Amino acid sequence: MNAFAGRVVLLTGAGGGLGREFARQLLAAGADLILSSHNPQRLKAAAEFAAQSPNRFGRIRSLLPADLSDPASCDHLAEQVLRIAPDLDLVIHNAGVGLYGPLEALPVEAAERLLRINLHAPIRLTARLLPALRNRPRSQIVFISSILGWAALPNISVYSATKFALRGFADGLAADGYCVSTVYPFFTQTDILESPQYGTTTQRRVPGWMIDRPRPVVRASLAGIAARRHHIYPSWKARLYAVTAVVAPSVLPPFSRLVAG
């Protein structure tokens, strides 16, 4: 992980399952971290969890609570980051929320909030941080997307839309000459699996054998980020899903019944 020694990293969604693990592994690898989350208590807990690593070589430069569903809060976060870390060179857009159910059953406010957090906020933050990143030789922008950014499943339409759009946005930034990596996790043991569900008679649960664990997912993600790969599949399940979505999409409908009904 020497690729992260001395790098200054903004990590959003630091209070969640993947965020906590990203913070822990990046701190151990020698990065300077700026951690952000909507919940101050979870943000503090994530920082304490990361700092417990016995082999940490980095430091936590700042904890910045921010509500990414609010454009003004996004702008304020960007201003704070630019003031605290003009040497910023790595942004990991990890914050995200989920929502399950047929479109007509979803509350409009919940769907719009999901769009603001999962898609609008990464675009808005990136635009405001580009002036700092543009002049850094190792600058890199990372988007934590999902396998659902390659092929959608039933009853996850709005969430899937944001992940497809993130992939397009990342590809556009790469075409503009920026170093961009997009990570496509498979179903992982995080709060996303407990997302609100609407319009269904039974609560859907992803079978346990299909769920990846945060630690190896983050380890593989950081290896891909260190190698500056454009597309990163952090488990064999994620890679298999993405390949299947391209070469044999007819296989996915039976699979979807296991996951999404």
The number of domains in the chain is 1
* Confidence at residue 82, expressed as pLDDT on a 0 to 100 scale: 95
- Could you tell me the residue range of the domain that residue 63 belongs to? 2-259
Active site residue 100: no
SS3 32: strand
Query: How many Å apart are CA 163 and CA 185, to the nearest integer?
Result: 11
| Helix and strand element counts for the chain (H, E) | 9, 7
What pLDDT, on the 0 to 100 scale, is given for residue 255?
Answer: 61
Task: Please give the model's pTM, rounded to 2 decimal places.
Answer: 0.93
Please list the ranges in the chain whose pLDDT falls under 50: none
CATH code, domain carrying 66: 3.40.50.720
∠ CA 37-42-44 to the nearest 5 degrees? 90
Catalytic site residue from 100, 159, 184, 241: 159
Residue 253: its pLDDT value, please? 62
pLDDT the model gives residue 201: 63
Distance of CA 41 to the CA centre of its chain: 20
